[in-house]
Structure 1
């Protein structure tokens, strides 16, 4: 099955956060939403956007983006591109699809009178009607009605393939002109395709292009953020202005500390120390240590936060002197901070030093930690199964011992890249065995 709830489906109120529901909308990135111009009514209106299917997201006001007012005309335009007054990066945005064909099965969720929590209607793409496209419902009761304007027209949910938005509901029409679709002999819904909206709006054209986002990178990075057992140091290349770059920016809210290449290192020290609890009067001792001016305070490692703290260095290769920054990051690793190191160009300044001073030591330590956990898990399991005695003592941690032998061989590998490859393979195996023992 596809997703049951979607952050990107918006319920709209006009002028007032508590005003009546007036239509629907689509969140297309953390700053931008789409709806119909006739829902907004005026280009200077203030709209309130509610995340009807995720109560954990605060409603937000929005206004028409400059160049985003495309009112209804004979050629089929009826679009408003809205700019949120404050971004909502926590919300999952809609995936936009410009492909559309006759017979495609689609659905839309709107907020008709009496259905403020939403109702979904199904249909199939019919023929073109000017710049709009006819949406054929199975029955007249499934034709859209007031409250559906601006609603996303979505592809059929399928397991393993996320729903995509192919257009916006703009209107319905009945042959007798009656107020309700079912009171007419024939009724049809109409949508404006995403392809047409992209033609009208440069913003939507950019966000809906195949190169706009790097979905694979986004999914991998999201898994890394969600997994406390993920690699403690992650190095990635993100070319400026790429889809990967846009995906990274969409996930910046998941990071605790952001440092831009070339920015002040003392600022990084200050922001990092905001994440650490230490005894009163010792701030300067930690400050001087992180700057490299003095030795580490006693028991500095014991000050590691309970929950992992993530530091992003955005454009490490844009740092004029990467060496001191890398040494500072190595000291932050004493606190158990996770590091996301972004290079704008592969092999840029600081690449080799980051690998040797940050990535390899972190992965070696991580492998040792996982090994200790696996040995403990195996021993505990043997005790629970009552199989530990003097004869079996050497065999109850057999899997961990086998991995430990592989770990010792990695120490002897002279080629840094081959060592990293073998190290990552060992970590994957250890994680799999820990899952087998029910240890996350």
Structure 2
């Protein structure tokens, strides 16, 4: 049914971090949030945004961005686009959906009086009411009320597809004008669709466009960060201004070390050594080795952190001299560092060297490591099944042995790209065999 909690759902307080709860909001990227203009009240107000469903994220102040004040009236629809005073990249943004249709089952979570931790109400999309859309509740007690303004209206989660935000709650109306929905004979909730907000705000239009995000790239990148069995060195091309670049910015915080092309290489060395435990008095020895001035200290590989450190080099081809940087990265591999190398264009400066000095050697060693694990896994499985005897010792690891033969042939492939293609195929096959052996 989807995630029970959502980072993007915001609880808002006005002017003061400890002030009363005044409404809800939606985080649409690490810098930007949406709420109702009537929740903010004034275009110069300071709002406090709380991640009510993720206590690990710090509250943050926010202000109406330039062009983001869209109050109810001829030129607006009761919307405020907020700019966070400091970004929250660790928070998952709301998946926005510009499509909306009648009869769609939806829900919203708000912060009504007595429900500061949130309450959720369900309904169905009704008809249009001007630029707003009517939201039909099952009962009058499920009509939205004060504290729901600015809440994201979400679709029902489906298998394999998360809930999407299709609009913001903006108001409710009762036919008798009573203060509570249930005290009226007829009561309805109203929302403003995300598509309409995108028409009013260029910022939201950009974030909801067809190429705004590269979801496939995000999934692959999250898998790479999550799984240490993924390739230890990954090279990718991210064009400036693309949805892929926006997705990278959202996930860059997951790297332990981030180095921008053209930034200080000594600073990169310092950040790398912060991740390593070495004997007292040997910092300079390791520093000089990483920059290439001296030989590798004895047993440097033993200093590798328990959990692999991920390093993002963003814009390697923007490095004026990529050679020395690539050499530093190659030496850092002794510590087991995993490298994500981002180029702005394929074949840019440092491309061939990164492939030949970082990617291929790392994948060859990775294949050998996986093959060792597969051999041990096959042998352990054979022991558990009690099928190992003097006649079968050579056959219980036949899958690993067959893959080792393929691995040896790779050393004779002279074309770098052909070798890489075959190597990746071998690694995928070995990982699948490991999974079947219960080694994942």
Please indicate the TM-score interval, normalised by the length of the shorter structure: over 0.9
Task: State the TM-score, normalized to the length of structure 2.
Answer: 0.96
Q: Is the 8 A contact 2:103 2:126 kept in 1?
A: yes
Q: Is the 8 A contact 1:76 1:192 kept in 2?
A: no
Which whole-Å CA distance do the structure 1 matches of 2:413 and 2:202 have between them? Answer: 52
* Aligned alpha-carbon RMSD (Å): 1.5
Q: How does 1:7-26 map to 2 (within 5 A)?
A: 7-26=7-26
Cα displacement (A) at 1:193: 1.3
Structure 2 counterpart of 1:315:
315
Structure 2 counterpart of 1:351:
351
Question: In the alignment, is residue 64 of structure 1 matched against residue 30 of structure 2?
Answer: no
SS of 2:326's equivalent in the other structure is helix
Q: Is the 8 A contact 1:317 1:343 kept in 2?
A: yes
Structure 1 counterpart of 2:51:
51
Which whole-Å CA distance do the structure 1 matches of 2:215 and 2:430 have between them? Answer: 28
Q: How does 1:66-105 map to 2 (within 5 A)?
A: 66-73=66-73, 77-105=77-105
Which whole-Å CA distance do the structure 1 matches of 2:117 and 2:439 have between them? Answer: 40
Which whole-Å CA distance do the structure 1 matches of 2:15 and 2:289 have between them? Answer: 53
Q: How does 1:5-404 map to 2 (within 5 A)?
A: 5-73=5-73, 77-404=77-404
SS of 2:34's equivalent in the other structure is strand
Give aligned pairs, total: 440
- The answer for unaligned runs of 5 or more in structure 1 is none
Which whole-Å CA distance do the structure 1 matches of 2:335 and 2:310 have between them? Answer: 11
Which whole-Å CA distance do the structure 2 matches of 1:263 and 1:114 have between them? Answer: 51
CA displacement, residues 33-70 of structure 1 (integer Å, 9 cap, x when unaligned): 11111112222322222212222222222222232222
Cα displacement (A) at 1:124: 2.1
Which whole-Å CA distance do the structure 1 matches of 2:63 and 2:185 have between them? Answer: 39
Cα displacement (A) at 1:2: 2.6
Q: Is the 8 A contact 2:106 2:125 kept in 1?
A: yes
Q: Is the 8 A contact 2:76 2:200 kept in 1?
A: no
CA displacement, residues 189-229 of structure 1 (integer Å, 9 cap, x when unaligned): 11111122112222212112121111111111011000011
Cα displacement (A) at 1:76: 5.5
Q: Is the 8 A contact 2:275 2:305 kept in 1?
A: yes
Q: Is the 8 A contact 1:76 1:131 kept in 2?
A: no
Q: Is the 8 A contact 1:75 1:131 kept in 2?
A: no
Which whole-Å CA distance do the structure 1 matches of 2:136 and 2:322 have between them? Answer: 60
Which whole-Å CA distance do the structure 2 matches of 1:421 and 1:59 have between them? Answer: 46
Q: Is the 8 A contact 2:29 2:93 kept in 1?
A: yes
Cα displacement (A) at 1:75: 5.8
Which whole-Å CA distance do the structure 2 matches of 1:18 and 1:230 have between them? Answer: 44
Structure 1 counterpart of 2:424:
424
Moved over 6 A (4+): none
SS of 2:163's equivalent in the other structure is coil
SS of 1:125's equivalent in the other structure is strand
SS of 1:116's equivalent in the other structure is coil
CA displacement, residues 94-152 of structure 1 (integer Å, 9 cap, x when unaligned): 01112222222222111222222222222222222222111122222221111110000
Cα displacement (A) at 1:16: 2.7
Cα displacement (A) at 1:256: 1.4
Task: State the TM-score, normalized to the length of structure 1.
Answer: 0.96
Which whole-Å CA distance do the structure 2 matches of 1:180 and 1:339 have between them? Answer: 57
Which whole-Å CA distance do the structure 2 matches of 1:63 and 1:147 have between them? Answer: 19
Q: Is the 8 A contact 1:9 1:53 kept in 2?
A: yes
Which whole-Å CA distance do the structure 2 matches of 1:385 and 1:131 have between them? Answer: 68
SS of 1:251's equivalent in the other structure is helix
